[in-house]
Amino acid sequence: MSEIFRLERTRNYLEPGDVGSAVRLWKDYVQRPQREQWHDYEWGNVHWYCCGNPLVARALLDTVTQALSPRGARELRRIIDKFDAVRNRQSPPYEIGEGKATS
């Protein structure tokens, strides 16, 4: 953590709290339903202007992991990988007749 605090103070593309905010944005985004993620990817989301873009946050996390020491990068990647696994999981298959009116 101290390495991230130091990085946020010394890099001109970071401000204090940016990494924590990026992790929270990404965590909240990956827990949304896949259809909403797809819609946001295709059309964007008006709330991203005020609250932050999770896709930009994820790119920032990649940049930060490259700037950290190997040990710090491993620790941050371990957290990010958990959220990436949630995003990359398969949707459950649809059952025949699901969502259709039955006669």
* b/e burial code for range 29-62 (CB count within 10 A of at least 16 → b): bbeeeeeebeebeeeebeebeeebbbbebbebbe
Q: What is the mean pLDDT of the chain?
A: 83
Structure tokens at 80: 């990010």
pTM as predicted: 0.75
pLDDT mean over 68-84: 94
Which is nearest to 27 in space by CA: 85, 73, 68? 85
pLDDT at 3 over 50: yes
